[in-house]
Structure formats: C-alpha cells, structure tokens
C-alpha cells in the first residue's frame, strides 16, 4: 500500500489550486467534488478535475478525487466524468454502509475492464463522518478489497450528532478511536480529520502527534502550509530510528542468548516493544528514509 501521510484537499473547480497542489511534494492530492464545491458549480468541477488529471504533472503525488455522497444523486455522474481520466483513487464521503463502497468499486471495475487497466489498480478511501458510519464501521472496513483506508471526519460528525467542537476534541474522541481500531483490524490505513484552523501550525502539530500516537498513519490537509508539518510528524526522526535499531539489535542478542525479556535504558523490553520498533522502521522505509543509512 502506498504511503499517505498528508492528503491535501483542493476544490475540484479551482485549476489554480490544483496546479499549486501538484508541486508541493505532498503524498496525495484530493480534488474535491463534494462540500468544497458550490452546488451551481458541480458540473464544471467534474470537467475541471478530469482535465487536470489529463494535463497537470502531479509528480509523485497520488491523484485522488472526492465524489459526492451516495445519497446526493451526483455520485454516478461524478464517476462517469472522471473515470476516463484515470485517477489513482477515489475518496467517498459520508460512508455509512458496505454497499456504498461496493457499488462504487463495481463501477470502477467496469471501467478497468473497458480500458484494459489493471484490475483493482484504482483505490478507494472511505470517510467516516456520521453517527451511522461509526455504528457500521465493521461492515464498512470489511466491505471491499479495493478499500485502502478509513478517514475520520470530525466536523461532519459533530454536526450529525449535535456536538460542539472544542480544541481538545473530547466530543469526538470515541469516534476517532473507533475509526483507527477498525482500520487496523482490517489492515487498512487510518487517516485523521483535517485541522480547520489554517494559521495555528502549533495546534496542527499537536493534533498530528496525537493522531500518530493513536495509530493513525496520515492526516487530511486543507492548506499548503499544513503539508510539511503533517508529513514531518509522520516521518520517524533519525533519533527514533536509531533507538528502534538499538532495541531490535539488543532483542536479537538476548534471543540468541536464550532470554525473551530484558532491560534497556531502565525499561523492560519484550515482544510488543520489538514489534513497535519494527513498525517504526517500516514507516521510515515507506517515507523514503533508509534505516540502514542512519
Ligand atoms: N491547495 C492548493 N493550493 C492552495 C490551497 C489548497 N488547498 N489553499 C490555498 N492554496 C493556495 C492559494 O491559491 C494561494 O496561492 P495564490 O495566491 O498564488 O493563488 C496560496 O495557496 C495561499 O492561499 P491563502 O490566500 O492563504 O488561502 P485562500 O484564501 O486562497 O484559500 C481556503 C483558503 C481555505 C479556501 C483554501 O485553503 C482551500 O480551498 N482549501 C481546501 C478546501 C477544501 O477543499 N475543502 C473541502 C474538504 S474539507
Ligand atoms: Mg465532510
């Protein structure tokens, strides 16, 4: 699965922002056809996004399109307008049931057959941002092999349940935890809600660190200045990599000597810490950092 640390949204009807987003070195760009586009511009956004997919050089960035929701009656036309331009994947908003993922996946598969593209090549990421979505996480997470990630959407969820957003986020903490647990149970990526405060980069960093600590592997971004902060937090530092390597080396030496559990720097080490160290090295590798060179 490809790495998705920061995923930057841009309105699908805004060619200027799409071109700016293409050169930032962000892991994924998401051209939005849903809530970032005015109702009277939905049709134009489809063709702007499709044309950008054909014309703009996105470098190494993954090219994603966010569709309108299954309930909107716009989704099928969104797909028909953008599929021929072959995005790398689709982001589905307000997912509440497995069939919503499966229906989109079937339409994508049809296009893959039609164009002779590799089957399953176009990926799907589902946003969970309603009470029903949280309730049905299990069936959504297991819905389709094309599904790569669950994305948590705090703003819509708060609206749906009548919660008031706070900087601490206690009101959405259960849902934020539930999304990451279900994602991991099904070997999916977990991607955190965006920070809507565009100027508070310290707050963004703190939020991203919490997400990382919870097990999230990426976070949505809505402004170019958020990209580096997010990608930095999700990339292990040389210090963390060195510590992980030391722990794994010490573990191997103890295993060879017939000891399963031991002490390192005043802390007990056994298998969970070893697994965590290996996960950290895998994250470094995926982020393009070779742990062997550190
Ligand atoms: N992607 C790419 N470029 C972006 C961008 C984004 N998400 N947001 C801003 N930019 C560009 C702007 O075009 C501007 O460049 P320019 O002056 O050369 O045109 C530069 O970055 C600075 O932008 P700024 O003036 O700070 O912001 P803004 O007032 O133009 O836009 C928002 C603010 C919130 C409207 C904008 O960031 C945005 O559209 N974000 C994405 C919103 C979205 O897609 N929401 C749906 C999902 S939640
Ligand atoms: Mg939303």
CATH number of the domain at 157, please: 3.20.20.60
Q: Would you call 270 a catalytic residue per the annotation? A: yes
Q: Is 203 helix (H, G, I), strand (E, B) or coil?
A: helix
Q: Among 191, 210, 233, identify where a domain stops.
A: 233
Q: Quick check: is 156 in a domain?
A: yes
Residues 186 and 253 in one domain: no
Residue 264 belongs to domain spanning:
238-293
Residues 201 and 144 in one domain: yes
Residues 202 and 67 in one domain: yes
The closest ligand to the CA of 37 turns out to be 1
Q: Please give the structure tokens belonging to residue 119.
A: 């089957």
Using the atom order of ligand 1, give the atom closest to the CA of residue 18: 2
Q: Which of 85, 77, 8 is nearest to 42 (CA)?
A: 77
Give the alpha-carbon dihedral of 62, 63, 68, 74, to 10 degrees. Answer: -150
Count how many domains the chain has.
2
Ligand 1 centre distance from Cα of residue 117 (Å): 33
Residues 99 and 129 in one domain: yes
Residues 99 and 196 in one domain: yes
Residues 40 and 119 in one domain: yes
Q: Which residue among 224, 225, 226 has the greatest number of ligand 1 atoms within 8 angstroms of its CB, and so is best to mutate?
A: 224
Pocket-forming residues, ligand 1, beta carbon under 6 Å: 8-11, 16-17, 20-21, 32, 35-36, 194, 222-224
Q: Which residue among 6, 7, 8, 10 has the greatest number of ligand 1 atoms within 8 angstroms of its CB, and so is best to mutate?
A: 10
| CA dist., res. 216 & res. 203, Å (int) | 17
Residues 87 and 174 in one domain: yes
Q: Quick check: is 123 in a domain?
A: yes
DSSP characters over 118-137: PTT-SEEEEEE-SHHHHHTH
Q: Quick check: is 1 in a domain?
A: no
Residues 32 and 159 in one domain: yes
Residues 111 and 212 in one domain: yes
Residues 102 and 48 in one domain: yes
**What length is written for the chain?**
294
Please state the separation of Cα 77 from the chain's center in Å.
Answer: 24
Q: Bridge partners of 220? A: 7
Ligand 1 centre distance from Cα of residue 223 (Å): 5
Q: Among 185, 215, 233, identify where a domain stops.
A: 233
Residues 43 and 176 in one domain: yes
Angle at 96 between CA 27 and CA 115, to 5 degrees: 55
pTM of the model: 0.96
pLDDT digits (tens), the chain, 294 positions: 899 999 999 999 999 999 999 999 999 999 999 999 999 999 999 999 999 999 999 999 999 999 999 999 999 999 999 999 999 999 999 999 999 999 999 999 999 999 999 999 999 999 999 999 999 999 999 999 999 999 999 999 999 999 999 988 999 999 999 999 999 999 999 999 999 999 999 999 999 999 999 999 999 999 999 999 999 999 999 999 999 999 999 999 999 999 999 999 999 999 999 999 999 999 999 999 999 998
Question: Is 221 within 8 Å of 193 (Cβ atoms)?
Answer: no
Identify the residue whose C-alpha is closest to ligand 1 atom 26: 223
Residues 13 and 112 in one domain: yes
Ligand 1 centre distance from Cα of residue 66 (Å): 17
Q: Bridge partners of 147? A: 124
């Amino acid at each position: 699965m490809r790495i998705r640390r920061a995923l930057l949204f841009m309105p699908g009807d805004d060619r200027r922002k799409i071109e700016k987003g293409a050169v930032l070195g962000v892991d994924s760009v998401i051209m939005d056809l849903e809530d970032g586009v005015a109702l009277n511009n939905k049709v134009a956004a489809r063709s702007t996004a499709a044309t950008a997919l054909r014309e703009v050089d996105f470098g190494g960035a993954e090219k994603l399109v966010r569709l309108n929701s299954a309930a909107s009656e716009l989704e099928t036309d969104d797909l028909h307008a953008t599929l021929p331009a072959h995005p790398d994947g689709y982001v589905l908003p307000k997912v509440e049931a497995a069939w919503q993922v499966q229906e989109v996946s079937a339409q994508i598969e049809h296009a893959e057959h039609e164009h002779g593209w590799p089957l399953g090549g176009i990926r799907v990421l589902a946003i969970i941002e309603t009470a029903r979505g949280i309730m049905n996480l299990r069936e959504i997470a297991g819905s389709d092999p094309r599904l790569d990630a669950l994305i948590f959407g705090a703003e819509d969820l708060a609206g749906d349940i009548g919660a008031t957003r706070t900087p601490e986020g206690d009101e959405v903490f259960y849902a934020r935890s539930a999304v990451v647990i279900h994602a991991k149970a099904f070997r999916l990526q977990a991607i955190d809600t965006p920070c809507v405060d565009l100027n508070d980069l310290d707050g963004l960093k703190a939020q991203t660190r919490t997400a990382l600590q919870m097990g999230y592997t990426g976070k949505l971004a809505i402004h170019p200045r958020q990209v580096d902060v997010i990608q930095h937090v999700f990339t292990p530092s040389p210090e963390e990599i060195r510590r992980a390597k030391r722990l794994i080396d010490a573990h191997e030496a103890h295993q060879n000597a017939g000891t399963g559990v031991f002490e390192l720097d005043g802390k007990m080490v056994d298998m969970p810490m070893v697994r965590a160290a290996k996960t950290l090295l895998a994250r470094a590798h995926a982020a393009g950092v070779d742990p062997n060179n550190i």
